[in-house]
Structure 1
Amino acid sequence: MSTRRFQFASSNLSKLLAIPKYVLSWLLAFFVPRVPGTWAFGSGIGVGEGALALARELRDSRPDAHIVWLVADETEGALAEAESFTPVVRRSRHGFWATLRAETLVVTHGLGDVNRFGVFGGTVVQLWHGAPLKRIHLDSAVTTAVRGPAPLRGVLQRMYARGTKQVSLYVAGSVTAAERLRSAFRVAPGKVAVLGDPRDDELAAQAADPTVAAAARERVLDMLAPQLQGGLAAGPLVLYAPTWRDGEPDPAIPTDAEVAEIVAALARVDARLVIRSHPLGEGEYGAAVGDRIHLLGGDLARDITPLLGAFDAVITDFSSIAVDFSLLERPIQWFAPDLEAYTATRGLYEALEVTAGSTIARSWGEVTASLSELVTAGTPARREASRAAAAIAARFHPHRDGNSARRVLAAIERLRLPASELVEPGGVFFESFYGRQVSCNPLALDREIAARYPELPRYWSVTSERQDVPAGATALLVGGVDWFAARRMARLLIVNDWLRFGFKRGPDQIVLQTWHGTMLKHLALGRPNVSLRTKLAIKRESRRWSMLLSQNGHSTDQFRNSYAFDGEILETGYPRDDRLAVADLAGEMNPVASATARQTLGIPDGRSVIVYAPTWRDRGTTVVDALDVNALADALGEDWIVVARGHTRTHELGSYLRLNPRVIDATAHPDINDVILAADLLVTDYSSVMFDAAVAGTPLAFYVPDLAEYRDAERGFTFDFEASAPGPLLQQRDELLPLAAQVREHGRAAPWIADYRPAYAAWQARFTPHDDGAASARVVDRLAERGAFGAALERDA
């Protein structure tokens, strides 16, 4: 078998040396048109992987398509011709020209699967080659390694980032895989579509039909026939498929003594072990070949995935073959002798124990000890291993119908459709916090609009398939073609932050900027030391808005100055606070509203609730936890639950560690109103949640040990916060404990709350004068007056 030692460092160096070729190719791409209906396919393993499944579907369903396969040598060329594809040598002038002229390019390992210099301007589809278990691309320092000074490494990083932007569509088998691809390639969520993995289509057929799996077994036995002594094997077949070690030797190569032990274990159940080393790996398994141990290298089977139905069990370490094989719901024995070292160097997306859901063997002795049980029908070990495999399949294979190639082909064709064919024109586009949440003012307005105009198309911007959108609305992933189409074709856009991605408001479009809170801290042009570039960006952004929503007069003045906005401002109160307003009954919390919120958050009966909801920091690199919620929970004792709510801009920095069972991290909870309504006491620092909580009359305290720094150096305040705060300003965590004790005993009648009642009333009069529970209705009324609902308004009038 091959012992060539590919390493990322040397490959990356060659990329840097080729920069002049990239530049010239990029310039040439401006003048060379791509030919409609032409496709260029390539794969790191040759003619195989998901690219082959997709090319076959294209060939069979679109006979007018011209399919070129970029090959490395004559052997691959013959395989391409056998499939009725046109073979072209990848690293040749013909390969460059074929890639440069093809309308659509399909790859599985990277842009180098075709001619990497000809990809500029083409529609590139990246299928990848399995669900990522180990960290890939920009998520692993190994993959972008290069020897040299920091500037050289910086150039390489930019080249990688630019390369990811060449790809129009990344295909994922599952939401879990999609999230990892988005992270690894640093692309917008909508660039990655969960369509199923075409390379698993044949395997899905084997899982559904035992006769198809039996045919795969016969193919494997035919390949192994020269190695089989005494004819075809009737007993179980076990596949051992270790992953590649990034150019390092495989630590699991068995010793002579281990080989003897493996053979003995196989003989006990009349089984055979088939070794499939990674094509890029160095695996000297040749010495192990003999009685009951066989090699199935790339020379015999270029693509192993369509043959997995032949095997009764799989042994692997970090290979995505385990995820493919789980479709069959047959036993997987995880075997990772270098688990700690591999995790520390290459890295995994989650602990291998989490993925496996079963025991991880660390030596061949442990593997052979369980082997006979795994391949014998009806044993407890085999049943348990099959259940663990089924759990993996449930996570990684939502599509098991064998039609993934068909879905991918349809998705590629959608990339070229005009916006008017992707979405219904004249609808409403909603976005909250750049799509990270379905919440805030846009959500409140969605409810009002849906009630009045139920037939109006409604589109919600989201960053994950896991997000729920309101009934009747359509979720669109940020940055996808449908997402761009909805923004372009919507009559009304309702957003609470910047629009991004070069949005230009059309002449018939209305953009309502609701923003996301009354400002204590300065924003936009009001921030200190704003650069000229930022000032221009701020003014360009505010010109995209037709109308701006304001909670109060203070916000109205700030918006005029901070965004240089001279359009219409609706000072109506906040729609997102309508629910809070109706829950406040003459200064007391509606017990039904509070109980419902607590039940939603999972708060046990009889506990008091303290909420900690800090804002983010401009140069923050971690979750803001100055209060230390776990230490606070310890100090408060059994009677209290601490609910932590991080800012949306800290979501990517992690979450609150729940070291204490009385801590609830509600950062990802979709509705902050639940958090406010559940609170007996809400603690913040400089977050605008202080204004929303005042609508519900929630007692407030402010933990501000960095007050002077934040006020004088970071952002600055838009009013005298210290003089008007409707609650105490605290510097030490211990100062909070007696306040909480009074709340536990007296509720809103606590003495310290009474002391702040005049300040609280003044705060409400200044900042929440319009929040009476009807803000959503007032806003929709005004939008209707401006014709924001178009034909829907005329129809329902």
Structure 2
Amino acid sequence: MLPIKKNKIVFCNYYGGGYGDNGKYIVKKLIEENLDCDIVWLVNEKLINKSVFPKNVRVVKYGSFKSLYELATAKLWIDNSRKSFYPPKRKNQYYIQTWHGGISLKQIEKDAENKLSRDYVNNAIKDSKMANLFISNSDFCTKMYKSAFWYDGDILECGSPRCDILINKDKKIKDKIVKDFEINENSCILLYAPTFRNDENTDIYNIDFNKLIEVLEKKFGGVWNILVRLHPNIADKVDFMEYSKKIKNATKYDDMYELLAASDILITDYSSTMFEFSLVNKPVILYAPDLESYIEERNFYFDIINLPYPLSRNNGELFNIIEKFEFNKYVKNLEDFMLKLGIKERGEAAAQVVKIIKKIIY
């Protein structure tokens, strides 16, 4: 009664998120190649009229009966998180898991099983059993999938489609961000993008942004602006910060990777974006005032002290790092570290995934 439509592809981004992450760049490549596809994107109801999609994409409410129908009749599912609302996967359907984290500082999945709910673990095991293909950006990721994701299937080591714009350095992205946030086109941009805490504590996001701008302009010259991008899990709490002409709220901007591509420096704490932002040797600085308590909450794969990214615990240390920052030394340490990870990013990940899609739907 519900035959599978061979050219239908259903995308989902982080449980109904907007047009972003790996799925966006796969869709862009599908459209660019003018493939005959019925593209569906599952979106939370509150984002349906806020996220901007290409006219080629059909937007369907996440969690609706309509979304179940689309999934049940699609040849291909593409997701970047564990599926939590879906029909039984059928024999002739194919599921590509692109994952949203990439190289991870924090231990995840099986490696953090004792810190995860039993419901999540059970669902993750089911999700991995359904998947036909995982997308990896490094030797590190491939090893992590095999050891921690309850997964023993195929892995495509092609890089992350969302990172293509970082590798290829598209200037139009910077122009778009400058326009959207009403920033002077000659300005430099620092992106502050910390992760969340399980208790949703916001006290640790306590950088003195006005002083930070002064330090940046004194060290590097020019005019600096700050974009603040909080994790989706605490997006509703974003108003606790004060914003201004030079300090902009970017938390609800759909595409994190456009923000990364447009920025000159990244400050984060424990987010995996540190590894992706530094693929093109841009400076990453860590600001982690709650390091000890966070390690208790989530163990790490790496010794954070020995990462190539300078670590600060308070505003004074942060400003001192910037004042004494040596770019050549930073790049040397970074290149040695990336070599050990076995990075596969070449700026062609979306094209590689689309090749697989062609084989599946044609």
TM-score (norm 1): 0.42
CA drift at 1:592: 6.0
The residue number in structure 2 matching 1:701 is 285
> Partner residue of 2:114?
529
How many residues get paired?
353
Say if 1:481 and 1:534 are closer, same or farther in 2 by CA, change over 3 A.
closer
8 A contact 1:428–1:459 mirrored in 2 = yes
Deviations 1:302-330 (A, max 9, x none): xxxxxxxxxxxxxxxxxxxxxxxxxxxxx
Q: 1:482 to 1:532 in 2, by over 3 A?
A: closer
Offset at 1:537?
Answer: 3.0
Shift of 1:527: 0.8
Matched residue, 2:130: 544
Quick one: structure 1 residues 762 and 601, their matched pair in 2 at CA, closer, same or farther if it must change by over 3 Å? farther
User: Corresponding residue for 1:642?
Assistant: 226
Deviations 1:694-728 (A, max 9, x none): 223221111112222222x11111123321x2221
Query: 1:440-492 CA distances to partner (integer Å, 9 max, x unpaired)?
Result: 11111111222335321000111122222223110011122221111111101
Q: Work out which of the residue numbers 145, 169, 187 in structure 2 matches 1:559.
A: 145
Match of 2:356 in 1: 782
The DSSP-based 3-state class of the residue aligned with 1:765 is helix
In the other structure, the counterpart of 1:460 is 41
Aligned to 1:438: 19
Provide the residue aligned with 1:667 in structure 2.
251
Matched residue SS, 2:191: strand
**Aligned partners of 2:80 and 2:119: how far apart in 1?**
22
Q: Structure 2 vs 1, CA of residues 623 and 554 (structure 1 numbering), >3 Å: closer, same or farther?
A: farther
Residue of structure 1 aligned with 2:191, choices 603, 611, 624: 611
**1:726 pairs with 2:341:** no
| Counterpart-to-counterpart distance in 2, 1:547 and 1:721 | 30
Distance 2:202 2:71 in 1: 32
Asked if structure 2 preserves the Cα contact closer than 8 Å seen for 1:641 and 1:662, the reply is yes
Q: 1:449 to 1:493 in 2, by over 3 A?
A: same
Post-superposition shift, 1:427?
Answer: 0.2
- Residue 676 of structure 1 deviates from its aligned partner by 1.5
In 1, Cα distance between the equivalents of 2:33 and 2:185? 38
Q: Provide the residue aligned with 2:160 in structure 1.
A: 574
Say yes or no: does 1:447 pair with 2:33. no
Instruction: Call closer, same or farther: CA 1:656–1:507 in 2, change over 3 Å.
Output: farther
Contact 1:522/1:715, CA 8 A, preserved across alignment: yes
Provide the rounded CA distance (Å) in 2 between the counterparts of 1:701 and 1:505.
Answer: 43
SS of alignment partner, residue 649 of structure 1: helix
Contact 2:105–2:302 (CA under 8 A) maintained in structure 1: yes
Decide whether aligned partners of structure 1 residues 544 and 629 sit closer, same or farther in structure 2, where only a CA change above 3 A counts. farther
For residue 207 of structure 2, the aligned residue among 618, 623, 627 is 627
C-alpha separation in 2, matches of 1:579 and 1:516: 16
* Partner Cα distance (1:706, 1:624) in 2: 7
Tell whether 2:297 aligns with 1:714: yes
Residues 592 and 489 (structure 1), Cα distance of their counterparts in 2 relative to 1, 3 Å cut: closer
Structure 1 gaps of 5+ residues are: 1-417, 584-589, 743-750
SS in 1 for 2:122: helix
2:319 equivalent in structure 1: 737
* 1:565 aligned counterpart, secondary structure: coil
* Residue of structure 1 equivalent to 2:60: 476
Alpha-carbon spacing, 1:618–1:673, altered in 2? closer, same or farther (3 Å): same
Per the TM alignment, residue 661 of structure 1 is displaced from its structure 2 partner at its CA by: 2.5
CA distance in 2, matches of 1:533, 1:436: 21
- After superposition, what is the alpha-carbon deviation per residue over 1:43-76, rounded to whole angstroms, capped at 9, x for unaligned? xxxxxxxxxxxxxxxxxxxxxxxxxxxxxxxxxx
- CA–CA separation in structure 1 for the residues paired with 2:338 and 2:157: 15
1:519 aligns to 2:84 (yes or no):
no
Counting only pairs closer than 5 Å after superposition, residues 243-322 of structure 1 correspond to structure 2 as: none
2:328 maps to what in 1? 754
Q: Distance in 2 between matches of 1:640 and 1:541?
A: 43
Partner SS state of residue 761, structure 1: helix
CA contact (8 A) 2:113 2:121 kept: no
Cα distance between partner residues in 2 of 1:505 and 1:630? 52
Deviation at 1:754, TM superposition (A): 1.8
Report SS of the residue matched to 1:500: coil
Partner of 2:339: 765
Which residue of structure 2 lines up, in the alignment, with residue 586 of structure 1?
A: none
Q: How does 1:87-236 map to 2 (within 5 A)?
A: none
Say if 1:663 and 1:496 are closer, same or farther in 2 by CA, change over 3 A: same
Structure 2 distance, partners of 1:681, 1:569, is 32
Q: 1:777 to 1:605 in 2, by over 3 A?
A: closer
| CA displacement 1:509-542 (0-9 Å, x = unmatched) | 1111100122110111111524655443321221
After superposition, the Cα gap between the structure-2 partners of 1:503 and 1:633, relative to the gap in structure 1 and judged at 3 Å, is farther
Describe the SS at the equivalent of 1:458.
Answer: strand
Superposition RMSD in Å: 2.7
Following the alignment from structure 1 to structure 2, what is the Cα–Cα distance between the partners of residues 656 and 469?
Answer: 30
Q: 2-side partners of 1:521 and 1:732: how far apart?
A: 21
Give the AA of the match of 2:274.
Answer: M
- Retained in 2: the 8 A contact 1:623–1:646? no
CA 1:528/1:455 → structure 2, altered by over 3 Å: closer, same or farther? closer
**Quick check: 1:656–1:665 contact (8 Å CA) kept in 2?**
no
Residue 633 of structure 1 contacts residue 660 of structure 1 at CA under 8 Å; is this kept in 2? no
Change (3 A) 1:443 1:462: same
In structure 2, what residue type is equivalent to 1:428? I
Larger relative contact order, structure 1 or 2 (CA cutoff 8 Å, min sep 6): 2
Q: Is the CA contact (8 Å cut-off) linking 1:643 and 1:663 kept in structure 2? A: yes
Contact 1:492 1:511 in 2 (8 A): yes
1:98-135 CA-partner distances (Å, limit 9, x unpaired): xxxxxxxxxxxxxxxxxxxxxxxxxxxxxxxxxxxxxx
Distance 1:593 1:447, change over 3 A: closer
**CA 537–481 in structure 1, closer or farther in 2 if over 3 Å, else same:** closer
Deviation string for 1:208-245 (max 9, x for gaps)? xxxxxxxxxxxxxxxxxxxxxxxxxxxxxxxxxxxxxx
Query: Partners in 1 of 2:208 and 2:200 — Cα distance?
Result: 16
For 1:506 and 1:629, locate their aligned partners in 2 and report how far apart those are by CA, in whole Å: 51
Tell me the SS of whatever aligns to 2:152: coil
Compared with structure 1, are the counterparts of its residues 558 and 480 closer, same or farther at alpha carbon in structure 2 (3 Å cutoff)?
A: same
Judged with a 3 Å threshold, the aligned counterparts in structure 2 of structure 1 residues 756 and 473 are, in CA distance, closer, same or farther, namely same
Gaps of 5+ in 2: none
Match of 2:78 in 1: 494
- Fraction of identical pairs, as percent: 24
1:510 maps to 2:94: yes
SS at match of 1:661: coil
Paired residues of 2:135 and 2:158 also in contact (CA < 8 A)? yes
SS of corresponding position for 1:773: coil
Looking at structure 1, the residues matched to 75 and 48 of structure 2 have their Cα atoms a distance apart, in angstroms, of 25
CA contact (8 A) 2:165 2:261 kept: no
Contact residue 215 and residue 322 of structure 2 kept, 8 A = no
3-state SS of the aligned residue for 1:643? strand
Q: Which has the greater radius of gyration?
A: 1
Residue of structure 2 equivalent to 1:678: 262
Q: How far apart are residue 635 of structure 1 and its match?
A: 6.8
Partner amino acid, structure 1, of 2:165: R
The whole-number CA distance in structure 1 between the counterparts of 2:329 and 2:350 is 33
